[in-house]
Chains A and B, each alone.
Chain A
Amino acid sequence: MPKWLRLPPPVAFLLLAITLILLPFLTGATLGNSWVRVLDFVLLYVMLALGLNIVVGYAGLLDLGYVAFYAIGAYLYAWLASPHFGLHLPFWAILPLGALLAGFFGVLLGAPTLRLRGDYLAIVTLGFGEIIRIFMNNLNAPFNLTNGPQGINLIDPVALGPLIFKGNHHLFGFKLTAPYLYYYLFLAFTLATIVIAMRLQNSRIGRAWAALREDEVAAAAMGVNTRNVKLLAFAMGATFGGLAGGLFASFQGFISPESFNLWESILILCMIVLGGMGHIPGVILGAVMLTVLPEALRYLGDWQRAALGHVVVDPNDLRMLIFGLALVLMMIYRPAGLIPSRQRRREFAAEDGVAEQEQADLYDAKV
């Protein structure tokens, strides 16, 4: 940052706080109210990306089934707060349950698979994600658990005492619709997530994760219980996923297996890769960019219609194509991300081949 832009920390903090508080109003006034919903999704994805970042960025474990934990949190919320089973528990009771259940599934999947080499782990987690999705798609018979592909509807909105996150509310003459209310709720959760992610990184466990990522054999030889530490990373990531899932279900009011396919996992992975693995500001930037991009792409369709009278290339079709290209180009030209941490920048530049091979040899020798 240039010097003249640098502000004293309290001033910068205050400015940031004011911006974050006013952001939905500014957005609503300039871009329209539909963009406030986009803001909500941005925050949701920041949470998800920070959660996955613990697994991929901190501990170096490639998890391609992350969305399964998101789904678990969302479905638990739907079961406990919708007409589907006639249960209507409050959100503050369900969210921790969803986070716990997702964390439990994280351990369940992690325990047998974490001794696998990195790329195998990626495939197993991917398979797990697909299994969860197939079950969600089909568990409407003989007992209707998930309502199949139709999904579950009419999920209760969040209610804070008398304040129900639905319809219009008025505060100091401002009209607040549900997306505004959810914005502040998500903002609180996102800030908490950021603080937790930062604290985890600079902790005893965070150092163990980094050691694991750098050199698993050396970490083990220095007394790190690699299996447990991996499990912890997996469970923590899953917990954040479950939490975000619950928030998503209440916000959307409707969930179906369609929302939890593999591409969602890959989208979240893209956010991390794009911004810079393991680096919190990078991950946040990645999440913001990739959530806003598809929305911005919609204008591409409007322009085509305005200019040519019809849509030649549906921007929706371009979305995934751009993500794919971004993944490949980033890995080849900027593997450490757009704003990498100082660590990662070197890590990807280093010729790690030797250490990797020795690691493989050591583990092979144990079998």
Chain B
Amino acid sequence: MADLLEVTGVTKQFGGLAALEAVTLSVGKGEIYGLIGPNGAGKTTLFNCMTGLYSVTAGRILLDGAPVHNRKPHEIVRRGFARTFQNIRLFANMTALENVMVGGHIRSRAGILGAILRNPRTRAEEAQLRRKASELMEFVGLRGKGRTLAGHLAYGDQRRLEIARALATEPKLLALDEPVAGMNPAERRQMSDLFRRLRDSGITLLLIEHDVKLVMGLCDRVAVLDYGRKIAEGGPESVQQDRAVIEAYLGVDEGTG
């Protein structure tokens, strides 16, 4: 069976500078796949290429066998690929619930006429969106915070809300960009738990993370980026022992240079 996400030879250049060079990786259905690497290694750039915010200079990206590179972001979301942002990009002046409901936009249909007429179908759809959004908020642990403005939520809750919003798009593959950054150990454990529950509900996870321990404990497979190239890929243990990785990345932490 083909993998859910296949990235083949993806290169991204800004002017003359290559932020990604011929990156190839694939994520299987039901995996938790980690993407690690030092700052500036190109992890977020890869996310942006995969989710349609950047065009790719060369290479291709297949989701469920269908090409998604250089597609519009909303088309990629429609195919079942959702994401969160490293630096939290909520709609700060909308309520938490409205944020999640925006995530449901692509899975609902009411147009201008429906909005004006408020016909039974629109009302039913709206109620459904609202119900689903509440459920998702509860799932990520934000029960009772639906009416708070997103910008007023605590930091950790904002991260959770971003996940709920992404889940509302009904993704097969959810890409999380440093989802536990800035959280304390207890919160990190809760989040790991959440990620496992997500995987168990059938969603494949792609994770950018700096917390090596979390990645190693959680991920089925890990790829390491450095200077825009993939320097290693495999199970957490084998990657941890990889010479190139130790030099490029782990070496920084453990002082082995």
The answer to whether any beta carbons of A and B sit under 8 Å apart in the complex is yes
Interface residues of A (CB under 8 A from B): 196, 199-200, 203-208, 210-211, 214-215, 217-226, 232, 236, 342-344, 346-347, 350, 355, 358, 362, 365-366
Q: Are B116 and A346 in contact (CB under 8 A)?
A: no
Task: A206-B115, A210-B94 given; name 20 further pairs at CB < 8 Å.
Answer: A203-B126, A207-B94, A207-B98, A208-B102, A214-B94, A217-B53, A219-B102, A220-B52, A220-B74, A221-B52, A221-B82, A222-B103, A222-B105, A222-B165, A223-B106, A224-B106, A226-B74, A343-B93, A350-B92, A362-B53
Q: Are B126 and A223 in contact (CB under 8 A)?
A: no
Q: Are A214 and B93 in contact (CB under 8 A)?
A: yes
Per-residue interface assignment for chain B, residues 100 to 136, with 1 indicating a CB less than 8 Å from any chain A CB and 0 otherwise: 0111011110111011101000100110010000000
| Known interface pairs A199-B118, A218-B89, A223-B169; A205-B14 also in contact (CB < 8 Å) | no
**A204 contacts which of B72, B83, B126 (Cβ < 8 Å)?**
B126
Measured CA separation A232–B111 after assembly (Å): 9
Q: Which of B82, B85, B93: most chain A Cβ within 10 A?
A: B93
Q: Are A224 and B115 in contact (CB under 8 A)?
A: no
**B94 contacts which of A203, A211, A365 (Cβ < 8 Å)?**
A211
| Known interface pairs A207-B105, A346-B151; A224-B93 also in contact (CB < 8 Å) | no
Q: Are A214 and B48 in contact (CB under 8 A)?
A: no
- B149 interface residue (CB < 8 Å to A): yes
Residues of A within 8 A of B73 (CB): 220-221, 223
Measured CA separation A211–B151 after assembly (Å): 13
In the A-B complex, the 9 residue pairs with the closest CB atoms: A223-B106, A203-B115, A223-B77, A218-B89, A214-B91, A220-B73, A343-B93, A225-B74, A211-B102
Q: Are A222 and B151 in contact (CB under 8 A)?
A: no
Measured CA separation A203–B85 after assembly (Å): 25
A206 → B minimal CB distance (Å): 7
Residue of B nearest to A365 (CB): B54
Measured CA separation A342–B94 after assembly (Å): 10
Q: Which of A222, A232, A342: most chain B Cβ within 10 A?
A: A222
Residues of A within 8 A of B48 (CB): 362, 365
Residues of B within 8 A of A210 (CB): 91, 93-94, 98, 102
Measured CA separation A101–B210 after assembly (Å): 55
Measured CA separation A196–B118 after assembly (Å): 10
Q: Are A222 and B102 in contact (CB under 8 A)?
A: yes
- B78 interface residue (CB < 8 Å to A): yes
Q: Are A215 and B89 in contact (CB under 8 A)?
A: yes
**A232 contacts which of B51, B83, B89, B112 (Cβ < 8 Å)?**
B112
A351 → B minimal CB distance (Å): 11
Residue of B nearest to A352 (CB): B92
- B174 interface residue (CB < 8 Å to A): no
Q: Are B90 and A218 in contact (CB under 8 A)?
A: yes
Interface residues of B (CB under 8 A from A): 14, 48, 51-55, 72-74, 77-78, 82-83, 85, 87, 89-94, 98, 101-103, 105-108, 110-112, 114-116, 118, 122, 125-126, 129, 149, 151, 165-166, 169
Residues of A within 8 A of B89 (CB): 215, 217-218, 221, 355
A87 → B minimal CB distance (Å): 30
A200 → B minimal CB distance (Å): 5
Residue of A nearest to B51 (CB): A221
| Known interface pairs A200-B112, A215-B91; A220-B102 also in contact (CB < 8 Å) | no
Residues of A within 8 A of B54 (CB): 362, 365-366
B52 → A minimal CB distance (Å): 8
Q: Are A214 and B92 in contact (CB under 8 A)?
A: yes
| Known interface pairs A223-B74, A346-B151; A200-B103 also in contact (CB < 8 Å) | no
Q: Are A207 and B102 in contact (CB under 8 A)?
A: yes
| Known interface pairs A204-B126, A343-B94, A366-B55; A218-B85 also in contact (CB < 8 Å) | yes
A79 → B minimal CB distance (Å): 27
- For this complex, 20 residue pairs linking A to B, each with C-beta atoms less than 8 Å apart, are A199-B115, A203-B122, A204-B105, A204-B115, A207-B101, A208-B105, A210-B91, A210-B94, A217-B53, A217-B89, A219-B102, A220-B53, A222-B82, A223-B74, A223-B77, A224-B74, A225-B74, A343-B94, A366-B53, A366-B54
Q: Are A205 and B111 in contact (CB under 8 A)?
A: yes
Measured CA separation A196–B117 after assembly (Å): 8
Q: Are A203 and B110 in contact (CB under 8 A)?
A: yes
Measured CA separation A35–B90 after assembly (Å): 48
Measured CA separation A102–B248 after assembly (Å): 60
Residue of B nearest to A206 (CB): B115
